[in-house]
Amino acid sequence: MAKKEEVSKAELYRKERKERIAKEAKKNAKRNAKIAKVKRAALKAVAVVVAAAIVLGAAVAIVNYTGSSLFKMSVAKTGDTKISTSEFQYYYRTSHANLVSQASQYDQYYGAGYYAQNQGFDYTALPSEQDFPNAMLDKEALGIEEDFETWDDYITYSTFNSIQYFYLLAAEAEKAGMELDEDEVKAITDQIEELRATAAESGRSINAYLRASYGSGINENSLEKWLLRDALAQKYAEAKELEFYDSYTTADINAEFKANKNDYSFVDMRYYVFEVDAGEIKDGATEKEVKEATEKAQAKAKKEAEAFIKDIKTEGDFIKAAVALDNKDVKDKKDKVTADDVKESTLLEKCAYAAFAQNFSEKDAEWAFSADRKAGEMKIVAQKQGEDVVAYYAMFFLKTSYKDTTVLSDLKAYAFTYATDASANDKALVKEEATALFNEWKKLPAEEKTAEEFAHLGHHVAEDGKETVACNDYADYNGTLAEEVDTWANNKARKPGDVELIEASSGLYVVYYEAKNEEANWEISVRTALRDKAFDEYAEGLVKSEEYALEKDGVLHETALKLHKNKLERDMKTYLYSLAQSMQAQSSGSQTVQTGHEGHNH
């Protein structure tokens, strides 16, 4: 649907609210048409990425190489294998940089300080200087028994567990006779070469660049060794997960669904948000005055929500009431929202039980997903932060608790998406790239047009020295591509091996059709959950085994870690300073547009 170039601030506000509640719903309802990837990069740990974009992108000289024997000491061991200070440092710094990247992206979108306020992590400060929000961590689900005093304690814990995880899975892979093939080894060497090229651009050797990015003691040989080991661990994990995934029968799936129905069910609704706005509270206000102002605002928001649903009988009534309220204070006709705008902005489909409980309460979720619910029922639900009500949601239920019986197609796709503000010329360039890739496919002899060959098609996308225009890497389709792709895939005439260039409002897609899935989405979700549980239990057994036991409490280990932490913290202070300077320079060179945060609230 075509959208207005300008929409009311009220609508923007509600759209953002919708995104926040829908985000967790999508996460819990995520369903892959073909389970072929490991979705947990490390067992019960912060995900470790190969390269930290912010650290490497800033290309700042953080430390000078000292050659200290400190980096030859071990800070722990898993089984009989020692974990060196340099290895700990690499994974710690990578985990921290990944967290910094995530936090800074949230702050760029929602405003400075958003992530610190909502997730408890301030990426501009040292982890050791920040209290860790233990209450926000589901320790029972993660199997964590201890409390963490600071973010440094948590990252340290996660780092050790990540390294242990990679060691033990790689060892199990070797026992099983598994090795990386030529393509998999090449993928690692290509990463190393990319780092070498990036280092050369800044006039440094790859080892100097790695020291600048991760600290003293890190070099090409050690990095390659770790990456190869981790790739083998990941390959083994994928194989083991697939083994578990394929082991379950229809009876197993039905039994799990019956036992835990809410975990695999959804509701559809329309909703309208009435935010609690206590206005400007004066400096020096007493606790009593703050409490009274807040309670008054809460009562006002609830009363408005009750008035909103009072005369609503149908979905059409809800849409009309939302249009009227959105346009209440809008003077300029071009800013007024339409029924079509509201139909989209108030709709929330496939809201999972876990998402509902997280955003509201377990009691509200139990009510919403009860078998007693009927389409057309309404409810006002309070959203809280801590003990304080921050908003009231007026909900109109369209579809009560149901399982997703959709049967997706198994596709592979290269996605060439348009930027939000893409001009006609920009879109033409994107189309040119997509068409070039499609033409490369058409040139292939019929016997070479296989799924495997499609997977290797990407190297045709860009010319030498030219970055690909808005092209995502080849990936398994997981039900999130454009509607036009779904329409094409669901055509009755579709047959395995079909490839098409599909143009949509969001961009262009070169799509390979493999087959129709044999199971519905709800069955895949159940099978995936059973697989995850089985794999976690398997991995936990290895973690707790004597063969791979993690030992880090000895005097020598503790001393090595303490000495190393002092050095690490000095490095990170320099890094954070350089990062702040880099981000400030980037910010001053671009114009920041704030939307949706200052609009009038109902």
Query: At 319, is the secondary structure helix, strand, or coil?
Result: helix
Q: Where are the beta strands (DSSP E) in 336-453?
A: 347-352, 378-385, 388-402, 409-417
Lookup result for tokens 């309404």: 378
Q: What is the pLDDT of residue 526?
A: 97
Calculate the average pLDDT of the chain: 81
CA atoms within 13 A on the CB side of 275: 14
The runs of H, that is alpha helices, within 337-393 are: 339-345, 353-359, 362-368
Gap between the Cα atoms of 509 and 484, Å rounded: 9
List beta partners, residue 381.
Answer: 393
Structure tokens at 437: 């890739």
546 and 431 Cβ atoms separated by less than 8 Å: no
Nearest partner of 418 among 410, 428, 408, judged by Cα:
428
Strand bridging mode 74-78 / 81-84? antiparallel
- CA 11 to centroid of chain Cα atoms: 25
Q: According to CATH, what is the number of the domain 409-516?
A: 3.10.50.40
- Beta bridge partners, 83, equal 76
pLDDT for res 190: 93
Encode 505-544: b = buried (16+ Cβ within 10 Å), e = exposed. Answer: eebbbbbbbbeebeebbbbbbbbbbbbeebbeebbeebbe
pLDDT at 365 (0 to 100): 97
∠ CA 532-534-539, nearest 5°, is 90
For CATH 3.10.50.40, the residue range(s) in the chain are 409-516
Q: How far apart are CA 521 and CA 528, in angstroms?
A: 10
Strand order in 378-385's β-sheet? 347-352, 266-275, 388-402, 378-385
pTM over 0.85: no
Rounded Cα distance between 422 and 582, Å, is 26
* Cα angle, residue 467 at apex, residues 463 and 469 outer, rounded to 5°: 100
Q: How far apart are CA 432 and CA 454, in angstroms?
A: 19
Question: Is the CB of residue 477 less than 8 Å from the CB of residue 454?
Answer: no
The list of the chain residues with pLDDT below 50 reads 1-71, 462-471, 591-602
Q: Give residue 141's pLDDT.
A: 73
